[in-house]
Homo-oligomer: A and B are copies of this chain.
């Protein structure tokens, strides 16, 4: 164990390699080799050095080591809200594989602010992080990092910045599966509530929703789409009616902005009141028999609004969530949900980053994981409509 530097009040003056060497009666270089396990060192010397280090409670200084040129053994992790279970699980997965590989995880929570994200990125650079994992944040952070040649893996999102890897869920197909399930049950007026549609994740979920409708020949209506997020601005005037499936020019292949016409102007809510917006959505279209919540936060909101207005699930409304969290298995009825292997996603992303960090610069790759629809009690054939 080595009871270390109990003397001296405990503070000040860490034990340095110099002192260890002295204690062992060798030079610093030899001590370094002995401890580091590199190069040739006589076995008995090695032992003596080890003993000395132990006795003195020596802990190598990573700053010095890093400065000298080796890697920092630090990986940055940027998430947008640790209080959201999704990110917490992600972080847990990341930490797990990284620490097993001998890396330290520096955590930054940007609380959804691009500015803080960029600051975090800068901090990672300053620490000479060997790589960075980025969960949903703005482009700037990614850009700074990539620009400086730091390996980056984006998780659960693709910013579109060139030169970084990504690990993500296939949002479109997950979302499509969810909506198909609803359609198969006989639902036709299906509302969708989404957090944001600025990034690929939200866009894709909406895309999957539309695709499912289109394939089933069910008309799509913007009135049933609620984008809670920081939208790019409500598009004026166009609060139109049902337009048949194939109408738009968009399809699965479209460019980055082909979903632009899906942003819903807020139909009645004061603006900054999500619960109110959901209620308004439901009020505006009494024919809606099912709600698809595009992530766990939104699902929570929908669930609460439904409970609050005394709506029965699945009798009055079927509900499906994208992302399967604890509470969804605790409530009655349990929620049908698109389960994403979040923890594993974290692990995968970390592993990918490590690979990238170690190996040379190969071409960037994306791992797309398939989600799985778990059918539970919150979905049933429509009782009305």
- Asked if residues A128 and B82 are in contact (CB atoms below 8 Å), the reply is no
List chain B residues, Cβ under 8 A from A300. Answer: 326, 330
Known contacts A88-B82, A92-B82: A105-B104 contact under CB 8 Å: no
Say how many copies of this protein the assembly contains.
Answer: 2
Say which residue of B11, B74, B144 sits within 8 Å of A361 (CB atoms). Answer: B11
- Asked if residues B72 and A83 are in contact (CB atoms below 8 Å), the reply is no
Say whether A146 faces chain B, with CB atoms less than 8 Å apart.
Answer: yes
- Asked if residues A64 and B62 are in contact (CB atoms below 8 Å), the reply is no
Known contacts A125-B59, A327-B331, A343-B83: A147-B3 contact under CB 8 Å: yes
How many interface residues does A have (CB within 8 Å)? 64
Say whether A99 faces chain B, with CB atoms less than 8 Å apart.
Answer: yes
Say whether A190 faces chain B, with CB atoms less than 8 Å apart.
Answer: no
Proximity string of chain A (53-95) to chain B, C-beta cutoff 8 Å, 1 when within and 0 when not: 0000101111110110000101001000111010011011001
Could you say which of A23-31, A106-114, A233-241, A372-380 contacts chain B? A106-114
Say whether A303 faces chain B, with CB atoms less than 8 Å apart.
Answer: yes
Proximity string of chain A (1-30) to chain B, C-beta cutoff 8 Å, 1 when within and 0 when not: 001111001111010000000000000000
Docked pose: A303 CA to B327 CA in angstroms: 11
- Asked if residues B95 and A89 are in contact (CB atoms below 8 Å), the reply is no
Spell out A's residues near B (CB within 8 Å): 3-6, 9-12, 14, 57, 59-64, 66-67, 72, 74, 77, 81-83, 85, 88-89, 91-92, 95-96, 99, 104-109, 111, 116, 120, 122-123, 125-128, 144, 146-149, 163, 300, 303-304, 307, 326-327, 330-332, 343, 361
For this complex, 27 residue pairs linking A to B, each with C-beta atoms less than 8 Å apart, are: A4-B144, A10-B147, A59-B126, A61-B128, A62-B63, A63-B63, A63-B127, A63-B128, A77-B107, A82-B89, A83-B92, A85-B88, A88-B91, A91-B107, A95-B107, A95-B108, A96-B111, A99-B108, A99-B120, A104-B108, A106-B106, A107-B107, A304-B330, A326-B327, A327-B330, A331-B332, A332-B332
